[in-house]
Amino acid sequence: MFKLLRAAFRHYRQIAVVGALLFASALCVALVGARVAYTRNFYYIYFVWNLFLAWLPMLCALTAYNLAKARSRLSWLMMAGCAFVWLLFFPNAPYLLTDILHLAPRPDIPLWYDLILVIAFAMSGTLLGLVSLYLMQLLVHRAAGPLLGWLFALGVLALSGFGIWLGRFQRWNSWDLFTNPVALLSDIAYTLRHPLANWRTFAFSALFSLVFLSAYLTFAALAYGQWDRPAARLPEPDGPFLP
């Protein structure tokens, strides 16, 4: 029991952040459950699945972050696997923002309730994406320096904008890379080969990435946790997750 309490104390920051994210997700599920009970239909139930997909990159990032402390060959291999899965599923987190397209007046429930429900899921997806990206940027920062860390984050944000376009408008899923790779890669190749014919794809990807970047810059500045410290005393950006 003492060892468990000591471990919890050492990782209290991780527990606090994950607990807050779990609370936000539980609230989302409760809102959907209340809607189902009130309307007797299952509309918006698929939001729960989308939220689960948004949790996958968060779990991968948290696992990779903690594996980095082991510094063994096996841990590095496991980190590489987590990083790959994280990158593949990362767009599923900010993707929840685009679910606002499903918001419409319905006769069986007030519009304001559905508005709150959609916002709750969008905020949860956004927070999951921000935290997981921050964790992965910290790993790159420590391994290769701050410049490559930020280049990594910017590259991921750019790719995620394109990934969200593929998911929202082309209806591709992350797992299609394994189940239908030829068709998926052909669709991507066609888009890249004909940029003028697909300018809306690049416009959406760039604008969405910029919007998410604006949120991430604020989050990263706060996450360093140095609000009141003089600049000369700033330590390395270990973030709020180290014990």
Cβ neighbours around 200 below 10 Å, total = 10
Over residues 1-25, the mean pLDDT reads: 72
Decide if 115 contacts 86 (C-beta within 8 A): no
- pLDDT over 90 (residue 7): no
- Reduce the DSSP state of residue 242 to 3 states and report it: coil
- pLDDT over 70 (residue 243): no
Amino acid at 122: A
Cβ neighbours around 134 below 10 Å, total = 22
How high is the pLDDT of residue 32?
A: 97
* DSSP run (H or E) holding 154: helix 146-168
Summarize pLDDT for 132-164 with one digit per residue, the tens.
Answer: 999 999 999 999 999 999 999 999 999 999 999
CA-wise closest residue to 132 among 102, 155, 156? 156
Residue listed under structure tokens 């068709």: 183
Residues 6 or more apart whose CB falls under 8 angstroms from that of 48 comprise 28, 29, 32
CA-wise closest residue to 240 among 55, 21, 84, 1? 21
Q: Where are the domains of the chain?
A: 2-226+233-241
Summarize pLDDT for 183-240 with one digit per residue, the tens.
Answer: 989 999 999 999 888 999 999 999 999 999 999 999 998 887 554 454 444 444 555 4
Q: What confidence tier does 20 reach under pLDDT thresholds 50, 70, 90?
A: very high
Comparing 75 with 31, the larger pLDDT belongs to: 31
pTM, full prediction: 0.87
Q: What confidence tier does 11 reach under pLDDT thresholds 50, 70, 90?
A: low
CA 36, 116, 212: angle at the middle one, nearest 5? 120
Over residues 85-93, the mean pLDDT reads: 95
Decide if 82 contacts 59 (C-beta within 8 A): no
